[in-house]
A and B are shown apart, each in its own frame.
Chain A
């Protein structure tokens, strides 16, 4: 396999990292706009040359290391909320987007953080993103509140505007660097050249004494 974010071997210097990043957040906060801006530099594009904006990829080169980024858009409608675990399993990073003019959307982000930490532990890099900063005059989520919340849950906070193309490059670059660090730390932990364990490869890890959480809407599970 192509050295999955947390897997692969560390034998040679020119390995390629593959990372999966999920976009989570309420509808209309700008998830699709952010990723279309980042991958295709488009906003509210009327000439639709893109077939779809749900799965996009980007190749980066960070300090000489190749990174393949796969960005997974998720259905934001409330009735699909329970499907979250199916989407975010095995992801290396999550981008949790809210609209700075919409307090509710920030509350939704908090719920996602709780769920992700419970299900995936600290292996996942979390980004909390306040989008639509071009509408700062209608801001309903305070900068201090958002940033201190992010810090309290071990996430990083970013401010973006898909409309003005602000803060987006930084967001993704930063996230990639953090995911690389996580992957490298994991490799070191596993020992030189050791392969990933079967459990971390396909399952989700939590420490022994935590209760086993059952995902809502888990697909195809026997129970």
Chain B
């Protein structure tokens, strides 16, 4: 039952687009759906684009001046290979006889990759202001500043910044490019840049990684709104589909998934709640690395829950079912869009061999499992599964499943009976509670009587010692004892009320 409590309940109407178009809205888009949000923001955007560019230009100019004055020698010999070299290599690779198949995460591209899809073609167009950066906000300005600050001490910092800026810029020309090609572009850019850095830093992978992290942060903060859940994909539909699917699976219990956590333990249920919160939070981050960070934190809370419940370190056998359970409970917003976005635009080495990549892969597994799961995967018969899915029966009242095998009508009827039984049961329990309460009341009265008696007997045996009580004490005591006595008039065993004089001596 505790699993039911955890669900986050929202009214259907709260989820729909504020414009009433029938699609789901999103708080990130002020309650609008992606379409309406785009329309709403078109004009706003145009203005921001201009401002963005003004700032970028200014920053660039500042940077160039700073570099020119500081390091004139380095300028004559750029540390990064000219771009035509990249082009050559790209062509060579394209002609190789090897096919890419089986991309588990990205849908296969429907259109042929464009010949001019090189991430570096923007270099050929020298005027950045002629192209349009897609959006601006305090965030992106901030990201630009941070990026520049980070690059300043590096020998090739200026080159890196120029490349990243030009590339980010060039993405604006690729509005109607498919998501796969956008991803290819970004991934090629990461790859080429990190190869150059690898040479430059003489193989210090930590150093390369730290630069690549900043590159990703800068680029993806700027590109986020354009490349997250783009219109060219059906990411949004997939989001709605998995959201619906998870809602339909609300009845799945911890036992069916064989989840090794015991939510009766407060620390465990606390970890479960934190894991749910973290996976939901993923949607609010922009940079792939930050989104992955949410999944990793979620996973650590899961490990904690398992470790406390099982008293041993969690293995993959424990982790995956628990993660599935958490995803079912959380129903994270725009789950598919987030997964796709991370897959397309994250620094690849993090996904392939890093710890974040492991947890992310498990999240992908959890989603795949949820999409495909049937009765068998939950140790249920397919009849039971269908009944639970259609809402005709619930695993919380197991008998209903048996009765309902005749017809839906009788299933409904049997549920009504179940509920009546439940109500009767509740009534009986309330009776019992009342009875206990009355008994408790009597016990309390008896107890006061008892205490009373003891006090009296003690008082009687008390030797009269005090000689000169103040009048106030005497009056107070008198009032108190008479009050006590008045409660006990029926009790014949009690001695007669004490006189204040006796007590005061």
Chain A residues in the interface with B (C-beta under 8 A): 1-5, 7-9, 11-16, 18-20, 27, 31-32, 36, 45, 48, 50-55, 57, 68, 70, 72-77, 79-80, 82-83, 85-87, 89-90, 119, 193-208, 212-215, 217-223
A200 to chain B, nearest CB (A): 7
Other than the given A203-B102, A207-B99, 10 more pairs (CB < 8 A) read A1-B209, A4-B352, A18-B353, A32-B317, A54-B316, A73-B315, A85-B102, A195-B191, A195-B192, A206-B99
Q: Which of B311, B317, B318, B339 has the most CB of A within 10 A?
A: B317
Q: Is the CB of A55 within 8 A of B358?
A: yes
Q: Is B472 an interface residue when CB atoms closer than 8 A count as contact?
A: no
Q: Which residues of B contact A12 (CB under 8 A)?
A: 199, 202-203
Given the contacts A77-B317, A197-B98, A212-B101, A51 and B212 also touching, CB distance less than 8 Å: no
Q: Is the CB of A195 within 8 A of B313?
A: no
The segment from B31-39, B56-64, B104-112, B415-423 found at the interface with A is: B104-112
Q: How far is the CA of A212 from the CA of B100 in the complex (A)?
A: 10
Q: Which residues of B contact A52 (CB under 8 A)?
A: 303, 306-307, 313-315, 319
The segment from B363-371, B452-460, B461-469 found at the interface with A is: B363-371
Q: Which of B97, B304, B313, B372 has the most CB of A within 10 A?
A: B313
Chain B residues in the interface with A (C-beta under 8 A): 89, 92-93, 96-105, 107-108, 184, 187-188, 190-192, 194-195, 198-199, 202-203, 205-206, 208-209, 212, 234, 238, 258, 300, 303-304, 306-307, 311-321, 336, 339-340, 343, 347-349, 351-355, 358-359, 361, 364-365, 367-369, 372, 376-377
B178 to chain A, nearest CB (A): 11
**B interface, over-half SS:** helix
Q: Is the CB of B316 within 8 A of A202?
A: no
Q: Is the CB of B353 within 8 A of A197?
A: no
Q: Which residues of A contact B107 (CB under 8 A)?
A: 221-223
Q: Is the CB of A195 within 8 A of B195?
A: yes
Q: Is the CB of B368 within 8 A of A220?
A: yes
Q: Is the CB of A54 within 8 A of B368?
A: no
Name which residue of chain A comes closest to B315, CB basis: A32
Contact partner of A215 (CB less than 8 A), chosen from B104, B194, B321, B377, is: B104
B429 to chain A, nearest CB (A): 39
Q: Is the CB of A75 within 8 A of B93?
A: no
Name which residue of chain B comes closest to A14, CB basis: B203
Q: Is the CB of B368 within 8 A of A218?
A: yes
Q: Which of B191, B208, B336 has the most CB of A within 10 A?
A: B191
Name which residue of chain B comes closest to A72, CB basis: B358
Q: Which residues of B contact A36 (CB under 8 A)?
A: 313
Q: Is the CB of A79 within 8 A of B377?
A: yes
Q: Which residues of B contact A7 (CB under 8 A)?
A: 191
Q: Is the CB of A74 within 8 A of B353?
A: no
Q: Is the CB of B198 within 8 A of A11?
A: yes
Name which residue of chain A comes closest to B238, CB basis: A220
Q: How far is the CA of A32 from the CA of B202 in the complex (A)?
A: 36
Contact partner of A1 (CB less than 8 A), chosen from B102, B208, B321, B358, is: B208
Q: List 6 A-B contacts (CB under 8 A).
A: A53-B315, A73-B316, A83-B368, A195-B192, A200-B98, A219-B339
Name which residue of chain A comes closest to B365, CB basis: A83
Q: Which residues of A contact B238 (CB under 8 A)?
A: 220
Contact partner of A51 (CB less than 8 A), chosen from B303, B317, B354, B365, is: B303
Q: Which of B104, B187, B304 has the most CB of A within 10 A?
A: B104
Q: How far is the CA of A45 from the CA of B349 in the complex (A)?
A: 32
Given the contacts A4-B348, A75-B320, A53 and B191 also touching, CB distance less than 8 Å: no
Q: Which residues of A contact B315 (CB under 8 A)?
A: 31-32, 52-54, 73
Q: Is the CB of B187 within 8 A of A198?
A: yes
Q: What are the 3 A-B residue pairs with the smallest beta carbon separation, nearest first?
A: A222-B107, A1-B349, A2-B205
Q: Is the CB of B205 within 8 A of A204?
A: no
Given the contacts A4-B353, A48-B311, A85-B104, A199 and B202 also touching, CB distance less than 8 Å: no
Q: Is the CB of B187 within 8 A of A201?
A: yes
Q: Is the CB of B205 within 8 A of A16?
A: yes
Q: Is the CB of B198 within 8 A of A198?
A: no
Q: Is the CB of B202 within 8 A of A86?
A: no
Q: How far is the CA of A90 from the CA of B359 in the complex (A)?
A: 15
Q: Which residues of A contact B336 (CB under 8 A)?
A: 220
A53 to chain B, nearest CB (A): 4
Name which residue of chain B comes closest to A54, CB basis: B316
A220 to chain B, nearest CB (A): 5
Q: How far is the CA of A72 from the CA of B340 in the complex (A)?
A: 22
Q: How far is the CA of A48 from the CA of B194 in the complex (A)?
A: 39
Name which residue of chain B comes closest to A89, CB basis: B104
A69 to chain B, nearest CB (A): 9
Q: How far is the CA of A204 from the CA of B352 in the complex (A)?
A: 13
Q: Is the CB of B203 within 8 A of A86?
A: no
Q: Is the CB of A70 within 8 A of B353?
A: yes
Q: Which residues of A contact B304 (CB under 8 A)?
A: 51
Q: How far is the CA of A2 from the CA of B103 in the complex (A)?
A: 22
Q: Which residues of B contact A208 (CB under 8 A)?
A: 97-99
B236 to chain A, nearest CB (A): 13
Q: Which residues of A contact B212 (CB under 8 A)?
A: 1
Given the contacts A198-B191, A219-B367, A75 and B313 also touching, CB distance less than 8 Å: no
Q: Is the CB of B104 within 8 A of A221?
A: yes
Contact partner of B307 (CB less than 8 A), chosen from A51, A87, A197, is: A51
Q: Is the CB of B101 within 8 A of A213?
A: yes
B137 to chain A, nearest CB (A): 29
Contact partner of B104 (CB less than 8 A), chosen from A8, A194, A195, A218, is: A218
Q: Which residues of B contact A72 (CB under 8 A)?
A: 316, 358, 361
Q: Is the CB of A83 within 8 A of B203?
A: no
Name which residue of chain B comes closest to A197, CB basis: B93
B116 to chain A, nearest CB (A): 16
Q: Is the CB of B354 within 8 A of A70?
A: yes
Name which residue of chain B comes closest to A21, CB basis: B353
Q: Is the CB of B321 within 8 A of A75?
A: yes
Q: Is the CB of A202 within 8 A of B192?
A: no
Q: How far is the CA of A170 from the CA of B424 in the complex (A)?
A: 68
A111 to chain B, nearest CB (A): 18
Name which residue of chain A comes closest to B355, CB basis: A55
A60 to chain B, nearest CB (A): 14
